[in-house]
Chain A
């Protein structure tokens, strides 16, 4: 049986990763823009 702690950590961890991914993409875009490397 998956424990409550594991299930909770899995869900919260996944959402945190999605949020982190959003920020990462925006930071990467800014870096590419700054270095004129978007395209």
Chain B
């Protein structure tokens, strides 16, 4: 008997069906991308439905589906709630999206803001942090894709990982952000319906009261209100989410792409849509204890519980939801990181006179390069890169206050910002290795706050907002 939930044949068929579907739909949607603004920013006229769906789907990664049940299994109810706090990043980015539209109506990237607001040294620091973060996030998702599809269906890791990456690269180069946002909408609907189906069937087929009593008997810690590690991880996760969303071009490019009247509302609603997903997908991890299911690998608790209750159909739903979660994030990262490299490195540093058509060709070449680089790291299964992603928490958290203050205060002290990024990142890394991951991001965010605000209050500067119009 096979030790995977699906057969290799079924895994291959599902992968083929959805690969063809995404590419065909992306070609259809992407035909609108006739110029550079169309390719990079979907014509800067994205409406409420597409805007909300793309923000939500991008933030639903394979981790949301696979890690939320693991958090619940290991940290109980607080684990699910801790994961759900990542949605606060989307809520708080909502007013920032409106501000970004007002300050940089012609902007292309988050790098435009940092360069014009703080100057070259901060810009270089920012680019180094965000590019390492984006590539490691890409690699972590490529690897997760290969591992999860192999665990679910026995499909070879290299095949699953290569197909997912290749499909995302192909449809992103065909239609740019139009294709990315268009596919994100369909993927959002599939993810949401999948979570509801799995959750509802698990609930209907279980005796909630009896399961609760069994958890209370065997692992009462999972139901306890006072669980210090889980509480720390809640705040740590929340600040990691702030850092990731506030700084990364994935979110900035969507803010530029949405209509000015829509950006703020779409981000707010996407947070509301995202908030219940880690709980809806995560509680089945808690049920593993109540149902007495033996879990050898906590990473697989979600699929195992789903399959044990829903059977083969449950495994198919999990497979499809995971594939959609991966594709919706990988395509977004490919497009946004390519925009950042094209605009901030190629155009600003190498070829300032580049024509829009040259930039579009450059963006396509960079998407292919990023896809190939990600594939290589994934192929080599560089596990340490996953550690780099976790380690990026303190780095991205150090950018929270420079970005928030820079968007709203004209008095921000630029030297203070540079010091805040460097010192907060360094201390965060020390805390990561000496205390633990669950406080490293918090420490970095706190230090960045003290230095950025302190230096600004101690030595305020003056900034002319009109300089941002140069973007």
Q: Which residues of A contact B (CB under 8 A)?
A: 1-2, 4, 7-8, 10-15, 17-19, 21-22, 24-26, 28-29, 31-32, 37-39
Given known contacts A32-B47, A32-B48, is B273 in contact with A25 (CB within 8 Å)? yes
Closest to B45 in A: A39
The answer to whether A25 and B47 touch across the interface, beta carbons within 8 angstroms, is no
Can you identify 19 A-B contacts, CB atoms within 8 angstroms? A1-B223, A1-B225, A2-B76, A7-B223, A8-B208, A8-B212, A11-B279, A14-B277, A14-B279, A14-B283, A15-B196, A18-B276, A21-B56, A21-B276, A22-B192, A22-B196, A24-B273, A25-B49, A25-B192
Residues of A within 8 A of B259 (CB): 37
Identify whether the interface residues of A are mostly helix, strand, loop, or mixed: helix
Residues of A within 8 A of B272 (CB): 17, 21
| In the complex, number of A-B residue pairs with CB atoms less than 8 Å apart | 104
Count how many chain B residues have C-beta atoms less than 8 Å from C-beta atoms of the other chain. 44
A39 to B77, CA, bound (A): 40
Residues of A within 8 A of B45 (CB): 39
The contact string, 1 if C-beta is below 8 Å from chain A, for chain B 249-274, is 00000000001000000000100110
The interface centre, meaning the residue of B32, B56, B188, B192 with most chain A CB atoms within 10 A of its CB, is B192
The answer to whether A19 and B203 touch across the interface, beta carbons within 8 angstroms, is no
Question: How far, in Å, is B45 (CB) from chain A's closest CB?
Answer: 6
A10 to B279, CA, bound (A): 8
Residues of A within 8 A of B209 (CB): 4
The answer to whether A21 and B273 touch across the interface, beta carbons within 8 angstroms, is yes
- Residue of A10, A14, A17, A28 near B49 (CB, 8 A) is A28
A8 to B223, CA, bound (A): 12
- B414 on the interface (CB 8 Å rule)? no
What 10 A-B pairs have minimum CB-CB distances, sorted nearest first? Answer: A14-B279, A14-B276, A28-B49, A17-B276, A21-B273, A29-B49, A22-B192, A32-B47, A37-B47, A14-B280
Given known contacts A25-B192, A29-B185, A32-B48, is B200 in contact with A17 (CB within 8 Å)? no
Residues of B within 8 A of A28 (CB): 48-49, 52
A25 to B42, CA, bound (A): 19
Identify whether the interface residues of B are mostly helix, strand, loop, or mixed: helix
- B43 on the interface (CB 8 Å rule)? yes
The answer to whether A18 and B203 touch across the interface, beta carbons within 8 angstroms, is no
- Residue of A2, A8, A11 near B199 (CB, 8 A) is A11
The interface centre, meaning the residue of B178, B188, B216, B280 with most chain A CB atoms within 10 A of its CB, is B280
Question: How far, in Å, is B191 (CB) from chain A's closest CB?
Answer: 9
Residues of A within 8 A of B203 (CB): 11-12, 15
Residues of A within 8 A of B212 (CB): 4, 7-8
Question: How far, in Å, is B25 (CB) from chain A's closest CB?
Answer: 14
Question: How far, in Å, is B34 (CB) from chain A's closest CB?
Answer: 12
- Residue of B43, B192, B220, B283 near A11 (CB, 8 A) is B283
The answer to whether B47 and A21 touch across the interface, beta carbons within 8 angstroms, is no
A18 to B354, CA, bound (A): 45
- Residue of A7, A11, A22 near B193 (CB, 8 A) is A22
The contact string, 1 if C-beta is below 8 Å from chain A, for chain B 272-294, is 11011101100100000000000
Closest to A23 in B: B192
Closest to A28 in B: B49
The contact string, 1 if C-beta is below 8 Å from chain A, for chain B 35-78, is 00000001101111110110010000000000000000000110
B residues 70-123 near A (Cβ < 8 Å) are: 76-77, 80
The contact string, 1 if C-beta is below 8 Å from chain A, for chain B 185-220, is 100110011011001100100001100100010001
